[in-house]
Structure 1
Amino acid sequence: MRERFEETGLDGLQSYELLEMLLFSSIKQGDTKPLAKALLAQFGSFAQVLAAPKQRLEEVPGCGPRTASFIKEMQAASILYAKAQVVERDPLSSWSKVLEYVRAAMAHNDKEEFRILFLDKKNRLIADEVQQTGTVDHTPVYPREVTKRALELSACAVILVHNHPSGDPTPSRQDIEMTTKISNTLEPLGIVLHDHIIIAGSGHVSFRGLQLI
C-alpha cells in the first residue's frame, strides 16, 4: 500500500486502506485491516473516525487506549493543517479553505459548538476561538459577550460558525434570531458580521448565501 501511495497518492487508496496504513504506526504487529474496517463500519467515514470521542473509539474491539490516542492525534494534525491554510491567507478570498477548516474542526462533533473567527481591517485572522460548547442541539450564545471579545481583540469583522450534530445544517428560528441580535449589536460599533456558517455532516449553510445577513 505504501508503494501504491508513493506512486498514485491518495487517489490510489480506498478509505479503509489509508486508515489501515496509518494505524500501522500505532500497531506495529498484526493485520490492521480488520480494525480499519471495523472503525469505518462503526462511525461511517474516515472523518467521523477521527472525530469520534476517545472513549467510543476504545469500545471498538482491537482499538486500545494507545491506538485511540493516536487517532485523536491524527485529527489534531488534520485540523492544524486546515487552520494553517486560513491563517496564511485572507479568509474572504480563500473561502473554500475556511470551509475546509471548520468542517475538519466541527462537522462531526457530538455537541454543538459556537466558534468565532475575528478579523482585522484587512480581513486577516486575528483569533479563532470557541466561545461556547453546548448540548447535542443547543449552544447558549450571548451577543454582548461576542461584542466584548471583538472589542478586546480590536477586531473589525467576525465570522460566526457553529455545528449541528444532527447532520442537518438548516438554520433554526433560534439561530436566525441570535444572528440578527449579534449583527445589530456589532453594527453600531463598526464591526462587520461577514457571515454565519452552520456546519453539519451533510454539508453547510451560509447565512449570507441565504440572504439572512
Structure 2
Amino acid sequence: MSVPQPPFSGPDHSGHRARLRKRLAEQGGDGLLDHELIEYLLALAIPRRDTKPLAKALLAEFGGIGGLLTADAEALSRVSGMGETSIAAIKIAHAAAIRLVRAEVAAKPVLANWQALLDYLRADMAHRTNECVRVLHLNARNMLIRDEKMSEGTIDEAAVYVREVIRRATDLGSAAIILVHNHPSGDPAPSRADIEITRRVGQAGKPLGIALHDHIIIGAEGHSSLRAMGLI
C-alpha cells in the first residue's frame, strides 16, 4: 500500500518573488538586474524551486542575457537544471522580444527607420553561434515585405547563392533588398568573401531593376554596413 507523500516543504520563496514583482511593477524592467529578470521568468515555469542559482548559471554559461535568450534549445538543455518547461520559458521570452522590435521595423519605410532595423537584427543575430544569411525584401516605398533566411553556414560557400537571392526577389516583386548575415566570432568586419558576394549580388540585380541597398554584418561587438564603408 502506497503512503501518501507530504506536500512540498522546501524553502518559501514567495516573499522574495513578491519583492521582485513589486520592483518590476513600480520601476519596470530597469528595476531588476539581469539575473533577477531571468530568475523571475524561470520561477513562472518552475515555481516551487529557487531559480536564482540557475539564472546566474545560465547568464555565466551564455555570456549575458543576449546570449542566453538567443541560445538554442539543445544548448540550453545542457545546463544542469534546465528542462522542457524552463527552456520553453526562455525561448518564448526571446520570441516575444523579436516580434516587438520586428513590428517597429515593419511599421515604417526601412531607410527612414534604420536604427529600429539595427536593433531588430542585433536582437535576433548578434549572439548566434552559427552563421546565418538572410535577405530583407523591400517594395518601391522601401517597406519591408519579406524577411527570409537564405542559408546557414559560411557565406562564401554559395555558388548558387546569388541566383537564389535574385530569383526570390523577382518572385516577390522586390524593388530592393538588404543582405544581412552574422559573424559568430563577434567581429563584424567584412571579409573578402563578404565584399565579393555583395558585389556579385549588386551586379546581378541591376539589369532587373532590383537595388541592393546594403549588406549589414552583425556581431556581438557591433555591426558593419558595407554601404557606409563605401563598398557598395
Alignment TM class, shorter chain as reference: over 0.9
Say if 2:135 and 2:179, in contact at 8 Å, map to a contact too: yes
Unmatched tracts of structure 2, length 5 or more = 1-19
User: Structure 2 matches for 1:77-116, cutoff 5 A?
Assistant: 77-116=96-135
CA drift of 1:54 comes to 1.1
Q: Is residue 47 of structure 1 aligned with residue 66 of structure 2?
A: yes
Moved beyond 2 Å, runs of 4+: 137-141
Distance in 1 between residues matched to 2:93 and 2:181, nearest whole Å: 22
The structure whose Rg is larger is 2
Say if 1:112 and 1:138, in contact at 8 Å, map to a contact too: no
Amino acid at match of 1:56: A
1:185 is matched with which residue: 186, 204, 225?
204
Q: How big is each residue's C-alpha offset from its partner over 1:157-199, in whole Å with a ceiling of 9 and x where there is no partner? A: 1111000111111100010001000001111221111110000
Equivalent residue, structure 1, for 2:187? 168
Q: How big is each residue's C-alpha offset from its partner over 1:89-115, in whole Å with a ceiling of 9 and x where there is no partner? A: 111111111111111221111111110
Equivalent residue, structure 2, for 1:128? 147
SS in 2 for 1:24: helix
Q: How big is each residue's C-alpha offset from its partner over 1:47-92, in whole Å with a ceiling of 9 and x where there is no partner? A: 1111112122111121112211221122122112221111111111
Q: 1:74 to 1:205 in 2, by over 3 A?
A: same
Amino acid at match of 2:209: G
Q: Is residue 119 of structure 1 aligned with residue 138 of structure 2?
A: yes
User: Structure 2 matches for 1:13-52, cutoff 5 A?
Assistant: 13-52=32-71
Distance in 2 between residues matched to 1:53 and 1:201, nearest whole Å: 16
After superposition, the CA RMSD in angstroms is 1.4
SS in 2 for 1:39: helix
Say if 1:115 and 1:162, in contact at 8 Å, map to a contact too: yes
Amino acid at match of 2:47: K
Say if 2:166 and 2:205, in contact at 8 Å, map to a contact too: yes
Distance in 1 between residues matched to 2:38 and 2:123, nearest whole Å: 17
Equivalent residue, structure 2, for 1:149? 168
SS in 1 for 2:48: coil
Unmatched tracts of structure 1, length 5 or more = none
TM-score w.r.t. the length of structure 2 is 0.87
Distance in 1 between residues matched to 2:57 and 2:75, nearest whole Å: 13
Distance in 2 between residues matched to 1:61 and 1:124, nearest whole Å: 44
Equivalent residue, structure 1, for 2:23? 4
